[in-house]
Structure 1
Amino acid sequence: MSTERAGQKRQFGHRARLVPTRAQIRLMDDQAHAARTLWNCLHDWWTMLAKEKRSLAAADAAIRRARKEIDWLGVLPAQAAQAVLKTYFQAWRNCWDGRADAPNFKARPRTVMSVDIPQGRDLNITRVHRRWGMVNIPRIGRVRFRWTKDLPVGKRADTDNRVTGARLVKDALGWHIAFRVQTLETEPGPHTGPEVGIDAGVNLPLALSDGNHHDHGRPPRLSGGEADRDKWLNPREKVKLLGLERRAAQREQHRKRGERASRRLHRTYDQIKQLRARAKRRAVDWQHKTTTTIAKRYGTVVVEDLHITNMVKSAKGTIEEPGRNVAQKSGLNRSISQEAWGRTVTMLTYKMARHGGTLHKVPAPGTSLRCSACGVTTPGSREDQATFACKNPDCGWSGNADWNAARNILHLYRMGHALIPAAGRAVARRPRGVKPATAR
C-alpha cells in the first residue's frame, strides 16, 4: 500500500521591500494615482449610466478609450487597468451577496496607493545574491527588492510552483511588492504534538498552559498604569517621536482655520507615520515568528473566543450617566489594540492547518477568575493583574494569573466545551431577494 500523501495547492502572499530610484518612485506614484482615478471614473460611469447600459464589455471599452485620450491616465499599464475593472466588479458582487458595502469614491488622503500586476510572467524575477533580487515592473523597469524568502523562480518554477502575480503597495516606509505565490505541497499528516491552551493578555502577550510564555522583551506598561503606546520603539526612537509630536502640535496650533497645512507640517506627519509603521512592522514580525514556533511544536491549540470590539469600547458613558475610570480604561483599550489578538489567532489558524494541527475556541467568561487547581471561582482571588491567589479555604493555590487562565482554557476544551467553527461569528449576509440601496 502506498504511503504517499496527495499534494495540495497552496496560495499565499510574500511582501518584500523595494529599493527603487527617484525616477522609478515618481513613475510608481503616477501609476498609483492613475489607478485610483480610474476607479473613481469607473464608479461615476457605473452609477450615472442607465441600468440597461451597464456591462463589463461597455466598461472595458470606456477604459480603453480613456487611456488613449488622456495622457496621464495612459501611464497605467493595460493589464493594471484591467485589474482595476476586475476589482471594481468584484466589489459589486460582494455587495450584492451581502459580504460588504457598496463600493464608493476613493479619496486621496484615505486610500492606500497600490498598483496591481496580474500576470506573473511579466515580473521576470531573478536573484542577484543572498540578500537582494531583481524584479521587472511594467513601464518602470528593473527594480531591486529585499530577498527574504525563496520564491519559485527560474528552474524551480513550473505549472504548480510559480509566482502568479504581484501588487505594488506604498506605506509610510516606502514602496513594497507583494508577490502572489502558488505552490504544490504535500498534505501534512496529523500533528502528534501535545495540547496547549493559550491566554492572550496585556502584561504577558501569550501565556501557555504548560508554563511557557512568549513575550516580546519590552515592558508593556508604565509605572503609573498608563499604557506604553510605543513599546515596539527603542528609547532613542521614543524620544524622537515625542519631539515630532510636539513639533506637529505647535505648528498645528499656529495654523488658521481653513488654511492649508504647510509642507513642513506634512513632512513632520510623514516622519511620525514612518516611526509608527516601523513599530507595526516589528510587532507583525514578532507575531509571525511566535505563531510559527507554536504551530510547529503543538498539535492542538485552544484559545478564547474573544469579542475584541466589545472589549475596547470607551467608558465615557453619557452626560446623565458618566463613566468611571475613563482614563484607565482608555489606556487598557490602547494596550489591547496594540497586542492585535485577532491577528495572532488568524495566523495560528492557517499555520496550524499547514502543519497538520488544529485550533479550537472555547467560551471566554470566567477563565481568568476561576482557579485552575480546584475549579472554584472565589471573589477576591484576582487581586492584581499578574498574580492569582485562590481564596478557597480548601485550596489556597497561587501563581501567575495568565498561566492560570491558560490552564482553564485547556480544561474547557478537554471537557468538551469547544465552540463549533460554523457557529462562530460569521459575516452578516443580506436576506435573499433584498437588494442594496444601489441596485444593479
Structure 2
Amino acid sequence: MSQGALVKRQFGHRARLALSPAEVLKTDGQAHAARTLWNLLHAWWQMMPKQERTLTNADAAIRQARQDIDFLAVLPAQAAQAVLKTYVRAWQNCWEHRADAPNFKGRLRTVMSVDIPQGRDLNIVRVHRRWGQVNLPKVGRVRFRWTKDLPVGRHAGPENRITGARLTKDALGRHIAFRVQTLRARPEPHRGPDVGIDVGVTVPLACSDGETYGHGEWLTGKEKARLLHWEQRAAQRKQHRRPGERTSGRLHRTYDRIAGLRAKAKRRALDRQHRTTTAIARTYGTVVVEALTITNMVTSARGTIEEPGRNIAQKSGLNRAISQEAWGRTVTMLVYKTDRYGGTLVKVPAPGTSRRCSGCGRTTPGSRESQAVFVCKNEGCGWSGNADHNAARNVLHLYRMGHALVPAAGRAVVRRAKRVKPATAR
C-alpha cells in the first residue's frame, strides 16, 4: 500500500462504569451465568465423542441449556454465542501450541466478564464532558466515564465504528472495554534515529544513546504497610478455618482489600509502561530489541529429588523481578506504537550482548566487573562504561550488521540485511 493510503486500525478503550445497586446485581448475574455456561460447555465437550464435537451440536446444547436452566436466561443470546466462540478459539490456541487447554472456571479465581459482540446494540451517547451513556442488553442505560473521543453519532460510519464491548469486574471496580475500528491515513516513515534497547531488572530500559527509563516503587510507604497488615490479617484468619470449611465473608473482604492494593500497583506500572513506550516510539525511527525467551528465563531452579537445584530462593526472587518488569508486554506495546508513528521494531539474537565489548567487539572473560560496570579486559581496548549501555550498543550493532530476526514458518530465522560498517556501535 502506498504512503498516505488509508488503513484500518483496531484498538480497545477501557472506561469506568457508574452503576446503581440494581444494575450491579444484573451485571453480576450475567457474569456468573456466562461463567456457568462456560463450565457446562466444557463438561459437554469432554463427554461427547470427538466426531460429535462440532459447532452445530455445541450451539444446540447451549440453546437447550438456556431453556432448561432459568438462571442462564439472564444472559443475552448474543453473549451466550460469544462464550461458544471464545471456547472454540481457546481450543484452537491450544492445538496451535499458543496456550494451555481450557479448563473449568472457578467462582473466586475467574475474572467476571460478559461479552457484547454487536456494537449496534450499545447506542452510545455523550451526555456531557465527563460522562457518557451506553445501552447494555438486559440491563438498560448506564453511565460510563468519558475519557476518550469515540466514533459515535455523526463521527461514526462503516469504517469508523464500535464493533463490540466487554464488561469486566476486577479489584478496581466495574469497567467496559470498547472494541473500536477506525480508518486512518498511513503515517509517513519516521525519520528519527535508530536505537538499541537492553532490558533489565535494576535498569528496566537502557538505550544505546545513553538514555535510561526507570521507575520507582509502585506503592507508597503507607500503602506497603497497609498491604503487609492485610496479608498478615489474612494469614491469621486462615489459620482458624477448619479443613474443608467454607471461607468466611470476613476473610473474603480481607482478600478484596489485598487485591485492591495489588491492582492499584499494577495500574500504575501499566500507565508508566504506556508512557515510556509512547516516548520511545515518538523519538526513534527504528527500535531494536533482543529476542528473549522469557518463559525459559523464569523457570524454577528447584530441580528434582535426585538432582536438587541450588540458590532456589535467589532464583525465585529473580523470577519475580523479571515477571514484574513485564518485558514481553513492553515489546508488544512497542510493536503497535512504532507502527502507529511510522517506525519499525526489529529483534536481534540475544546471546552474548551483555558480555561482548561494544568498542572492540570481542568477548573477554572478566569484563563484566559488576552488574552495572563493564570494563573490557582485551589488550589494546580498555573500553569502560555502564554495562546496560554497553549491551544496548551491541544490540544496535547486530541490527546494523544485518542480524535481524524475522518470523518464517513459525520460527525465527536470521535475515542478512544491508551491511553497514560503522566504526563502533553507536
TM-score normalised by length of structure 2: 0.90
Q: CA deviation at 1:52?
A: 6.4
Q: CA deviation at 1:131?
A: 3.0
Q: Higher mean Cα deviation, 292-301 or 35-44?
A: 35-44
Give the partner amino acid of 2:24: I
- Residue aligning to 2:343: 357
Give the partner amino acid of 2:247: A
Q: Higher mean Cα deviation, 355-364 or 94-103?
A: 94-103
Q: CA deviation at 1:253?
A: 2.1
Give the partner amino acid of 1:248: A
Q: CA deviation at 1:211?
A: 1.1
- Residue aligning to 1:334: 320
Question: Is 2:376 the partner of 1:390?
Answer: yes
Partners of 2:97 and 2:324 in 1: CA distance: 30
Q: CA deviation at 1:62?
A: 4.0
Q: 1:249 to 1:92 in 2, by over 3 A?
A: closer
Q: 1:314 to 1:298 in 2, by over 3 A?
A: same
Whose relative contact order is higher, 1 or 2, with alpha carbons under 8 Å and at least 6 apart? Answer: 1
Q: CA deviation at 1:162?
A: 0.5
Q: CA deviation at 1:303?
A: 0.5
- Residue aligning to 1:141: 140
Q: CA deviation at 1:180?
A: 0.7
Alpha carbons 2:375, 2:383 under 8 Å: kept: yes
Give the partner amino acid of 2:385: G
Q: 1:184 to 1:368 in 2, by over 3 A?
A: same
- Residue aligning to 2:153: 154
Q: CA deviation at 1:317?
A: 3.3
Question: Is 2:237 the partner of 1:238?
Answer: no
Q: CA deviation at 1:259?
A: 2.3
Q: 1:55 to 1:322 in 2, by over 3 A?
A: closer
Give the partner amino acid of 2:384: S
Deviations 1:266-292 (A, max 9, x none): 111111111111111111111111111
Q: Higher mean Cα deviation, 206-215 or 252-261?
A: 252-261
- Residue aligning to 1:432: none
Which residue, 248, 253, 274 being the options, matches 1:288?
A: 274
- Residue aligning to 1:222: none
Structure 2 stretches lacking a partner, 5+ long: 413-426
Q: Higher mean Cα deviation, 355-364 or 49-58?
A: 49-58
- Residue aligning to 2:388: 402
Partners of 2:256 and 2:135 in 1: CA distance: 28
Alignment of 1:20-419 (within 5 A): 20-49=19-48, 55-94=54-93, 100=99, 102-216=101-215, 218=216, 231-419=217-405
Partners of 1:315 and 1:417 in 2: CA distance: 32
Partners of 1:86 and 1:392 in 2: CA distance: 59
Structure 1 stretches lacking a partner, 5+ long: 219-230, 427-440
Q: CA deviation at 1:321?
A: 4.1
Q: 1:424 to 1:102 in 2, by over 3 A?
A: closer
Q: CA deviation at 1:315?
A: 2.6
Partners of 2:329 and 2:21 in 1: CA distance: 34
Q: CA deviation at 1:399?
A: 1.7
Q: CA deviation at 1:319?
A: 4.2
Q: 1:391 to 1:174 in 2, by over 3 A?
A: same
Task: Name the SS of the counterpart of 2:74 in structure 1.
Answer: coil
Task: Name the SS of the counterpart of 2:24 in structure 1.
Answer: helix
Task: Name the SS of the counterpart of 1:270 in structure 2.
Answer: helix
TM-score normalised by length of structure 1: 0.87
Partners of 1:305 and 1:55 in 2: CA distance: 38
Partners of 2:252 and 2:203 in 1: CA distance: 37
Partners of 1:333 and 1:100 in 2: CA distance: 20
Task: Name the SS of the counterpart of 1:73 in structure 2.
Answer: helix
Partners of 1:247 and 1:121 in 2: CA distance: 47
Q: CA deviation at 1:404?
A: 1.0
Deviations 1:367-398 (A, max 9, x none): 11122122222222222222222233422222
Partners of 1:87 and 1:146 in 2: CA distance: 27
Give the partner amino acid of 1:18: L
Q: 1:373 to 1:116 in 2, by over 3 A?
A: same
Give the partner amino acid of 1:36: R
Q: Higher mean Cα deviation, 396-405 or 152-161?
A: 396-405
Partners of 2:253 and 2:176 in 1: CA distance: 24
Q: Higher mean Cα deviation, 43-52 or 141-150?
A: 43-52
Give the partner amino acid of 1:414: R
Give the partner amino acid of 1:41: L
Task: Name the SS of the counterpart of 1:408 in structure 2.
Answer: helix
Percent identity reads 73
Partners of 1:59 and 1:330 in 2: CA distance: 43
Deviations 1:39-66 (A, max 9, x none): 2223333443466665544443443343
Task: Name the SS of the counterpart of 2:257 in structure 1.
Answer: helix
- Residue aligning to 2:418: none
Deviations 1:4-23 (A, max 9, x none): 72211111211222221222
Q: 1:117 to 1:383 in 2, by over 3 A?
A: same
Alpha carbons 2:133, 2:142 under 8 Å: kept: yes
Q: Higher mean Cα deviation, 333-342 or 12-21?
A: 12-21
